[in-house]
Amino acid sequence: MSTGRRPRIAAIIPVGGLEGAKSRLGESLDAEERRDLVDGFLARTVLAALAVDLLEDVLVVSPDLDVLHRAAELGSRTLRQRSDGLNAGLDEARADVVAGGAEAILILPIDLPFVTGTAVCAVIEPLATPGSGSGPTTTGPMTVLVTDRHGTGTNALALRPPDVIDFAFGPGSRHAHRLASSAAGAAYIEVEGPLNIDLDTPDDLVYVESIAPEGVRAG
């Protein structure tokens, strides 16, 4: 990537299968309600990403053909995941977008009830403005992370170049991604905002409904 030129940024949206989706919410929502929730969140996330001018590619990766069909209807590119697990699927998707010319990537899960194009822009803007301003906004390697409201997980992750660190999604991923970034000599930035809130557990569901009930009824 040359100095002064905006890098090509691709968004990767990982999605598990619709069947059995968000099983940890089983105490609060039945299987059909969870499926509808995931379908609505998929639509909200894909449309938010497609609305961001800084993103030149939006790819949904999933082992579920129904998910891929729905994503294609929404206007996203799709990739069927052949491996097992989130991090392995992200590796597949990263290879795909890099082959297409991506110079930076955004990992954007779909369980973020308050995702918007504006919130997505806040995460990738540090990657998209090489050589401007001062501080960590440079042409060098960079990791931008949005943690969860508990301060332990990773709700969104942007990388420049795409392979600057390995993916470490799972328990304690915020710390793991930060350590990996430091080891790689990359600038590290954390972004605050609506993407700090995710929906994974019954407690998250109660919290989101207490803030804005419409955040649960995505679509």
Instruction: Tell me the per-residue pLDDT of 149-187, one tens digit each, with 9 for 90 and over.
Output: 999 999 999 999 999 999 999 999 999 999 999 999 999
Residue 136 pLDDT grade (very low, low, confident, very high; cuts 50, 70, 90) = very low
Rounded (to 5) percent helix, strand, coil in the chain: 40, 20, 45
pTM for the full model?
0.88
Adjacent-strand bridge partners of 9: 55, 104
Query: Is residue 35 a contact partner of residue 18, using CB atoms and an 8 Å limit?
Result: yes
Whether 2 shows a pLDDT value over 70: the answer reads no
Q: Does some domain include residue 114?
A: yes
Whether residue 4 is contained in a domain is answered as no
Mean pLDDT, rounded, for 23-41:
69
Does residue 2 lie within any of the structural domains?
no
In a domain, 26, yes or no: yes
In a domain, 195, yes or no: yes
Domain extent at residue 129: 9-215
Share of the chain above pLDDT 70, in %: 81
- What pLDDT, on the 0 to 100 scale, is given for residue 89? 97
- The answer to whether residue 167 sits within a structural domain is yes
CATH number of the domain to which 147 belongs: 3.90.550.10
Give me the number of domains the chain comprises: 1
